[in-house]
Structure 1
């Protein structure tokens, strides 16, 4: 089946006010609802609500940081959603970023690859109901056992941007979740994980025919995200190093406005889907045609009715 996802909650919409829309998503053709976790809602609570409002949807976290909860709490949170949505929940985990981990959550951001690998291995055991006592390279756990074991245990997907983490996702997880890529980048990512590993990606969609407004918003997002070292390295790997070099130079000099201004239109148009609802839907579909299994639309605010926009972006 072709999957078609949406990110919840929507910007500016109270969490409990989503019920009307979420209940309609399966009939509109959406198969998935995925949450995120930065400084808004936590990743799990919106999915607990959605599990009761739309029992047909697959639900996923994209992503939960491996540093900001202890391993046991992460397992408990995942098991709770899995119990609310048996067989319909996917746990997406990843490193997040130094800003979120260090600056906002007072945790150490060290050995991201190893910490993700170790957390994945712990979660596999814990969510299967095993009593876990283990010395992992990045943390240790003694005699942890879930009191409420989910049946079935949820699949686990990894946030992955470059070959090392992508290959770990293909080798030990149930899929890879990526972010900030163009349709033409999908084959590069797909080549690292092979044809049989699920690949999901958040796709930023700004449904407006005011190209200047869409690009303005897109530039602010790009300069905020792609100056993070892991995203900078990701886009250098994808071949955008030269195009984004002026942005990085201005950002390093503290010239934030200048950093926005020097991002080329072509880069914005590659990474931000904008245009009419029909044009946006077709471009999201182009990700699928290039090898993406699960597009997860992240609706950017345009001043329009977000519920109507979500309805208009439903697959045809």
Structure 2
């Protein structure tokens, strides 16, 4: 499950983490956009629910200096030894440039360089030298983790997918349909033992299809108009069906862009229906090659009306998913 859960204060997540564990969820994964940072919700989970595995999906490769990113990862790995995975990625020009005042230059190289730096630093090595996108002078972690965390790479298209297969311990997929998974996985080639395929899957468990599709259209026009995601979906073969969306967005017609998203695209990328129907749809991702399906729970009328009790019931009905085993 993606955490923090929307609408629930971080201070109230102890009960939510316990509910997730009881329902059969094994992992909680955080993201970092403009809400909570990627590490604080996981640090709370490490203390409150030590049975859960923790992961970032993702921490941007640009918004922290390499040393600080290594320190944050090492601290969480020390707090949850053997239970933390660090996922990094390029993020986007808006998050990196507009919101964090960092130049979004050469995202492939920056992500590759940060991955290589982290591999060395988290192993306790002294890093001293220049990468293509930055230089580090004699950095050594004062508290290197006894168990270095696996490093996962967010990837969309072939170049980054192949980098993940070659140098990371896993890959993180995002904003794709279950039928897209084999296309992405094929680019990974022969994966080493233990390599994980993680996918964030947007789930809106409601019987109100109109609500789910309206929310899905807003999210899709927000994300799939970002150049990297637009290129991703062109590569996946959706250029013709999404071209009206991109044209309207480029013309400044935000409402028209949302209206141009077909139901079939919304239904493929934002799962909705009863919790049991959503769980069955998530299982399709597992069947297609995803090792760790990470649900991103979207707001619903039922959750808004039912409060914490409705959330607990929903979590119980959603999990476990994936081949009958807790995921």
The alignment covers a number of residue pairs equal to 311
Contact 1:10 1:306 in 2 (8 A): no
**TM-score normalised to the size of structure 1?**
0.97
CA RMSD of aligned residues (A): 0.9
1:135-158 superposed Cα distances (whole Å, 9 cap, x missing partner)? 101000001010011011000000
For residue 53 of structure 2, the aligned residue among 58, 75, 97 is 58
C-alpha distance in 2, partners of 1:134/1:201? Answer: 34
Contact 1:201 1:294 in 2 (8 A): yes
Q: Which residue of 1 aligns with 2:266?
A: 268
Q: Which residue of 2 aligns with 1:211?
A: 209
C-alpha distance in 2, partners of 1:252/1:82? Answer: 43
Aligned to 1:123, the other structure's residue is in SS state helix
Contact 2:19 2:315 in 1 (8 A): no
**TM-score normalised to the size of structure 2?**
0.94
Matches within 5 A, 1:229-268: 229-268=227-266
C-alpha distance in 2, partners of 1:273/1:148? Answer: 42
Q: Which residue of 2 aligns with 1:146?
A: 141
Contact 2:197 2:292 in 1 (8 A): yes
Task: Could you tell me which runs of 5 or more consecutive residues in structure 1 were left unpaired when the two chains were aligned.
Answer: 1-5
Does residue 306 of structure 2 align to residue 314 of structure 1?
A: no
Q: Which residue of 2 aligns with 1:290?
A: 288
Q: Give the deviation of 1:306 after TM superposition.
A: 2.9
1:16-66 superposed Cα distances (whole Å, 9 cap, x missing partner)? 111012023233111110001000000000000001111111100000001
Q: Which residue of 2 aligns with 1:32?
A: 27
Larger displacement relative to structure 2 (120-129 or 298-307): 298-307
C-alpha distance in 1, partners of 2:16/2:228? Answer: 34
Contact 2:204 2:271 in 1 (8 A): yes
C-alpha distance in 2, partners of 1:160/1:11? Answer: 25
Q: Which residue of 2 aligns with 1:184?
A: 179
